[in-house]
């Protein structure tokens, strides 16, 4: 295997590693997006629960009012029993009448408020059902993403092992250093030099001397002689003839 072939091999693994790393970065973002989709259903459910709580509190409030008024009437009646004069008795009757009117109003309000309860409860149930359904879908999707994350991590570990092996096959440290440096800035690092003398990486036409060097390199490779680094004059990619 020539050193160029060894580098092409290494680049192939590095390409897969790049894709996997990119996916690994992207998956948590997709999970977050998916989870954020629930925010509408959560807001609706919270509003429905708050509305139901308000409706219940109204019923309870009128109930308490009615209870207090009943007790007040009872008290007035008890006091009235012990009164001496007709005048006092009649005054109390008027008071009891007034409070009884208030009681009637409170009881009517309570009944009206109770009418609102079923629709408030139904709204909460609908919102809960919608949330549950959406949550179920989101949970399933997130579980799939988690599985994918685990699979990508496992594949990445395999690729790293493979890379270590492929890197050993690049026997010339000069090539390795060049490759590793450029890898951080340019991808792919190695590019074919086309028949028209164009760098397949940046598509710049190369001077004829570059083509000659690449041809000589290919011949040296076939003959088992050392190869040199032939780089694109524009992007610096390692050029090779197919």
Rounded to 5 degrees, φ, ψ at 187 are -140, 135
Shortest spacing between CB 14 and Zn ion, in angstroms: 18
Using CA atoms, how far residue 118 sits from 65, 106, 115, 130, in Å, is 22, 20, 7, 18
Choose, by CB under 5 A, the member of 232, 238, 240, 241 that binds Zn ion.
232
User: Interface with Zn ion by CB under 5 A: which range of 36-44, 53-61, 143-151, 225-233?
Assistant: 225-233
Shortest spacing between CB 216 and Zn ion, in angstroms: 19
- C-beta separation of 196 from 241 below 8 A: no
Using CA atoms, how far residue 81 sits from 91, 100, 135, 228, in Å, is 13, 17, 65, 120
Choose, by CB under 5 A, the member of 138, 149, 176, 235 that binds Zn ion.
235
Shortest spacing between CB 1 and Zn ion, in angstroms: 24
What b/e string do you get for 163-185 counting C-beta neighbours within 10 Å, with b at 16 or more?
beebbeebeeeebbebbeebeee
- C-beta separation of 9 from 162 below 8 A: no
Q: Which CB atom, from 48 or from 232, has the smaller least distance to Zn ion?
A: 232
Q: Which CB atom, from 199 or from 230, has the smaller least distance to Zn ion?
A: 199
Footprint of Zn ion on 147-206 (CB under 5 A): 199, 201-202
* Count of residues engaged in binding Zn ion, rule: CB under 5 A: 7
Q: Which residues bind Zn ion (CB under 5 A)?
A: 199, 201-202, 232, 234-235, 237
């Amino acid at each position: 295997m020539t050193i160029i072939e060894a580098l092409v091999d290494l680049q192939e693994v590095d390409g897969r590693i790049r894709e996997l790393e990119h996916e690994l970065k992207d998956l948590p973002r997709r999970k977050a997006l998916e989870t954020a989709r629930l925010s509408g259903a959560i807001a609706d459910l919270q509003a429905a629960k708050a509305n139901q709580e308000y409706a219940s509190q109204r019923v309870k409030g009128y109930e308490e009012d009615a209870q207090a008024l009943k007790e007040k009437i009872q008290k007035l009646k008890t006091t009235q029993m012990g009164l001496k004069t007709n005048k006092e008795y009649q005054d109390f009757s008027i008071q009891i009448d007034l409070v009884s009117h208030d009681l009637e109003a409170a009881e009517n309000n309570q009944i009206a408020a109770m009418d609102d309860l079923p629709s408030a409860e139904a709204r909460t149930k609908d919102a809960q059902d919608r949330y549950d359904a959406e949550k179920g879908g989101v949970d399933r999707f997130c579980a799939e993403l988690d599985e994918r994350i685990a699979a990508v991590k496992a594949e990445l570990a395999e690729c790293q092992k493979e890379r270590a092996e492929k890197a050993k096959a690049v026997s010339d440290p000069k090539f390795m250093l060049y490759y590793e440096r450029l890898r951080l800035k340019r991808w792919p690092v190695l590019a074919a030099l086309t028949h028209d003398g164009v760098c397949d990486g940046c598509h710049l036409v190369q001077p004829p001397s570059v083509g000659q060097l690449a041809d000589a390199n290919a011949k040296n490779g076939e003959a088992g002689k050392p190869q040199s680094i032939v780089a694109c004059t524009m992007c610096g990619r390692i050029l090779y003839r197919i």
